Structure 1
């Protein structure tokens, strides 16, 4: 029965932002808004047993930033000046291959970052897959982020959590899950942009 539910979830697009968007999310996603407050411009989903997360953000369109620099601009803005991060790759995506109509430019940025949870001293190594979909007609940059921890520090609270909450039935998400999500994202109600 569990496998049937997972397969059904993979086949059913999830409504986002109150039905303004839809997309195929990775299996087993937990909606963080059911656990804590999430800003109105974000949708956040987490894996049930890993520290993986997917974040969708509606950000102000940065008209002064060229398309090829916009993904890095938003990454650096979110990561902050003190972040220990390295850009591994950047490539453009063909907007016509995306389900999101009206996307003028799409960019994928992959970084490796050392991140501490809850201001801990122990830092975890996280690969961040970021896709920026530019919608100038709506004054919006749509940022999709897949945070994928690749090395958990033994003193991190994440290390404790992973040993306490085993979920053998839910394997970790893959980059392919994130690509499916990215390519399936659709705008259903432009009214979300005001």
Structure 2
């Protein structure tokens, strides 16, 4: 794992541990309020956290697969594979109310092949997803923590470091203010 430090995300509504070496994309360009994106210098690898509308599948594994498929479509992937999908059991984080507990995520590891920047050859990218599903009486949302690792352009040691960074981000992910999420529809 890289040297890491706790960071506030979404104006302090979430806290998580991130590597000190990543660049906050919002320092470089405009990023939607629903996203936090962090780039690894000198590579196309990144970590991101995105607050999304909760998707229809109630099964968490199917919801994670749905988000993976959406990413593949957005990346115009020509080939995809889900290699692992499983529930993670994380230590519960302290909450203001019994309902406001950061849920344990569904983890998905897959790969996608896509053409990038009009290159003639498709690039293989390993995709890591941790899907936190928010379903309280006050809010419903999906929080998608993802990592994108170009496997052909980054040496294995760096790939392992990024995977460790992703694991630290996910295991430290703590929702502090559930007001971040859209109110539940009655």
Tell me if TM exceeds 0.5.
yes
- Rounded Cα–Cα distance in structure 2 between residues aligned with 1:100 and 1:149: 35
Question: Do the aligned residues in 1 keep the contact of 2:124 with 2:150 (CA within 8 Å)?
Answer: yes
Q: Give the match for residue 145 of structure 1.
A: 146
Return the TM-score normalized by structure 1: 0.77
Looking at structure 2, the residues matched to 26 and 97 of structure 1 have their Cα atoms a distance apart, in angstroms, of 21
Structure 1 stretches lacking a partner, 5+ long: 1-5, 153-158, 160-170
TM-score when normalising by structure 2: 0.80
The separation in 2 between residues aligned to 1:174 and 1:54, in whole angstroms, is 9
Separation in structure 1 between the aligned mates of residue 104 and residue 15 of structure 2, nearest angstrom: 19
Cα distance change of structure 1 residues 122 and 67 upon mapping to structure 2, 3 Å threshold: same
Which residue among 21, 28, 35 is the counterpart of 1:35?
28
User: In 2, are the aligned partners of 1:56 and 1:142 still within 8 Å (CA)?
Assistant: yes
Q: Cα RMSD between the aligned structures?
A: 2.3
Q: Is the 8 A contact 1:116 1:122 kept in 2?
A: yes
Q: CA deviation at 1:105?
A: 5.1
Q: How many residues align?
A: 168
Q: Structure 1 stretches (4+) deviating beyond 6 angstroms?
A: none
The CA deviation at 1:63 is 4.1
Over 3 Å counting, the alpha-carbon distance change for 1:22 and 1:32 in structure 2 is same
Are 1:54 and 1:144, in contact at CA under 8 Å, matched by a contact in 2?
yes
Residue 98 of structure 2 aligns with which residue? none
Question: What is the CA-CA distance between 1:68 and the residue it aligns to?
Answer: 2.3
**1:1-194 map, 5 Å:** 7=3, 10=4, 12-80=5-73, 82-83=76-77, 84-94=79-89, 96-97=90-91, 99=93, 102-104=101-103, 106-137=105-136, 138-152=139-153, 173-194=161-182
